[in-house]
Amino acid sequence: MIVSEVMTTKLVTVAPDDTLSHAANLLRQYQFHHLPVVRDSSAIEAFEPNHSSRRTLLLEGLLTSHDIELAASSGTLSLSDVLQQPWQERRVIEVMNRASIRVSPNTSVAAAAQILVERGLNCLPVVEYERIGQTSEEQGNEEETQAVLVGLLTRSDLLMALARSLGAFEPGMQLILPLPLGDLTPLARTLLLAAELHIHVRSVIAAPLHIVIPLEATVRLGTINPTPLLARLQEEHIQYSFADLQREEDKYV
Partner 1 sequence: MSEGKSDSRARLIFDPDELDYNFGSEHPLQPRRIVALIDLLETCGLWHSTAEYNSLPLRAATVEELSLVHSHDYIAAVQTLGASGEVERQDSERVQLAMKYGFAEGDTPVLPRMHEVCAHIAGGSLVALNAVMGLSDDDTIIPEAERPLHVFHPAGGLHHAWAERASGFCIYNDISVAIASALRASEAKILYIDFDAHHGDGVQRSFYDEPRVMTVSLHETGRYLFPGTGEVLEMGNGLGRGYSVNVPLEPFTEDDSYIEVIDSLLSPLVLSFAPDVIVTQHGCDTHAWDPLTHLSLTIRGIQAQIRLAHQLAHSYCQGRWVALGGGGYDLYRVVPRAWSIVWAEMSEQTLPRQLPAEWVNRWLPVWSKVKEQEEEAQKVMGKVPVSTHFPTLFEDRPEEFPAQPRRWAISSTNRHTVALVRHLVLPSSIRHAFPSTRHHSPLAGLFDLLHIHGAATPSPSKTLETPAGPLLLRDFCPPSMVERLTADNGLHAFARLPEREHQLLLNIAKRPDCALALAHTPAGEIVGEVTIAPGDEWWEGLENVYEVAIEVSSNWRRMGVARDLLAFALELDALEDMILFAIGLSWHWDTEDLGLNVYRYRELISRLFATQGFVEYPTTEPNVSMEPANVLLARVGKRVDQQVASRFYNRMLSSPNLPGL
Residues that bind partner 1 (CB under 8 A): 167-168, 171-175, 197-200, 220, 222-227, 230-231, 233-234, 241-245, 248-249, 252
Whichever of 214 and 222 has its CB closer to partner 1, that residue is: 222
Whichever of 125 and 172 has its CB closer to partner 1, that residue is: 172
Whichever of 143 and 244 has its CB closer to partner 1, that residue is: 244
Q: How far apart are CA 211 and CA 169, in angstroms?
A: 29
Task: Provide the minimum distance between the beta carbon of 192 and partner 1 in the complex, in angstroms, as a whole number.
Answer: 15
Whichever of 94 and 244 has its CB closer to partner 1, that residue is: 244
Q: What's the first-to-final CA gap in the chain, in angstroms?
A: 38
Comparing CA positions, the residue from 121, 108, 102 lying closest to residue 5 is 108
Task: Provide the minimum distance between the beta carbon of 244 and partner 1 in the complex, in angstroms, as a whole number.
Answer: 3
Whichever of 28 and 98 has its CB closer to partner 1, that residue is: 28
Task: Provide the minimum distance between the beta carbon of 226 and partner 1 in the complex, in angstroms, as a whole number.
Answer: 8
Q: How deeply is 177 buried, as exposed, middle or buried, from its count of CB atoms within 10 A (0-12, 13-18, 19+)?
A: buried
Task: Provide the minimum distance between the beta carbon of 246 and partner 1 in the complex, in angstroms, as a whole number.
Answer: 8
Within the chain, strands assigned E span: 34-40, 57-64, 123-132, 144-154, 173-178, 201-205, 216-221
Comparing CA positions, the residue from 129, 123, 169, 161 lying closest to residue 146 is 129
Task: Provide the minimum distance between the beta carbon of 137 and partner 1 in the complex, in angstroms, as a whole number.
Answer: 52
Other residues' Cβ atoms within 10 Å of the Cβ of residue 119? 10
